[in-house]
Homo-oligomer: A and B are copies of this chain.
Amino acid sequence: MKVISNQRMFGGEQLRIEHPSESLQCVMRFSVFMPHGLSSQNPVPVLYWLSGLTCSDENFSTKAGAQRVAAELGIALVIADTSPRGAAVPDDDSYDMGQGAGFYVNATQAPWKAHYRMYDYIAHELPQFVATHLPVNANKAISGHSMGGHGALTIAIKNPAQYTSVSAFAPIVNPMACLWGQKALARYLGDDRSEWAQYDSVELIKEHGLSLPLLVDQGTADEFLAEQLLTENLATVLSEKTDADIRFQSGYDHSYYFIATFIEEHIRFHAKYLLA
């Protein structure tokens, strides 16, 4: 592993790390905030963050203001990139396919399938890498925004023993029913819609239920709410017995100003389980 940058923040270290990825067959970067520093002997739990379309690992690091509370509580933040990267990795001219738009799936179709295995990378390879190289303990939670909220939800629903808790900001909850999801799933997975269902939170909860605590914040002024995010479809499939809180925040949009406003509540939500 190669530390590209290391900057002090809130008494801890904000790092960018580069490593070759086996799942993605390319060199990847991720950002991490270590509240007690990289060389600490004090292992801490990790909150994984997955970003949205067009983002890299840097949007959340620079704009969300999450490190303050993570430092206070002693929680590491691992902030992933949103797709495989590099000149050898297939790309697309549109912002919602290819690099920056991996949708956290394992692609099965050409030309994507050689590199676009973001599900494996986030669910398996990255946590393994982090556990091997950074002073963390076994407790993990996961959160994300928009496409990254979709990634956090689907990965947590399918791997409930791996995470203490899951949360999301403005997630794409039902990609099979919106244009962003239909385009990406058709091109990464082919035309068989039964393949798509394994990456659709609403369909996964219908089939498997939800067995870990969930918090979702959705702004009512979000320009993507009605056509792409479909938050009501998630609320509909959650049973009353589920430990899930879906909150509509009046007047908030899809931006990092919305995330910055509520990130403290998300980190404190996860801390109840990560530090238990």
A-to-B contact residues, CB < 8 Å: 7-11, 14, 62-63, 65, 67-68, 219, 221, 251-253, 255-258, 260-261, 264
Residues of B contacting A252 with CB < 8 Å? 8
Bound CA span A222–B14, Å? 15
Contact B8 A260 (CB under 8 A): no
Bound CA span A260–B65, Å? 8
22 residue pairs from A and B, CB less than 8 Å apart: A7-B253, A7-B255, A8-B221, A8-B251, A8-B252, A8-B253, A8-B257, A8-B258, A8-B261, A9-B258, A9-B260, A10-B260, A10-B261, A11-B261, A62-B62, A62-B256, A65-B65, A65-B68, A65-B260, A67-B257, A67-B260, A68-B261
Bound CA span A63–B7, Å? 15
Residue of B whose beta carbon sits closest to that of A221: B8
Interface residues of A, dominant DSSP:
mixed
Min Cβ gap A145→B in Å is: 15
Q: How many copies of the chain does the oligomer comprise?
A: 2
Residue of B whose beta carbon sits closest to that of A264: B68
Bound CA span A256–B62, Å? 8
Bound CA span A67–B219, Å? 18
Residue of B whose beta carbon sits closest to that of A62: B63
Bound CA span A7–B256, Å? 10
Min Cβ gap A50→B in Å is: 20
Min Cβ gap A100→B in Å is: 19
Residues of B contacting A11 with CB < 8 Å? 261
Residues of B contacting A67 with CB < 8 Å? 257, 260
Contact A257 B63 (CB under 8 A): no
Min Cβ gap A223→B in Å is: 11
Bound CA span A219–B8, Å? 10
Bound CA span A62–B60, Å? 11
Given contacts A62-B62, A63-B62, contact A257 B7 (CB under 8 A): yes
Residue of B whose beta carbon sits closest to that of A14: B257
Bound CA span A255–B5, Å? 12
Bound CA span A230–B274, Å? 44
Min Cβ gap A211→B in Å is: 33
Contact A261 B221 (CB under 8 A): no
Min Cβ gap A29→B in Å is: 17
Min Cβ gap A168→B in Å is: 19
Residues of B contacting A251 with CB < 8 Å? 8
The 10 closest A-B pairs by CB, nearest first: A65-B65, A9-B257, A8-B251, A7-B257, A8-B252, A10-B261, A62-B63, A9-B261, A14-B257, A7-B253
Min Cβ gap A44→B in Å is: 19
Min Cβ gap A249→B in Å is: 8
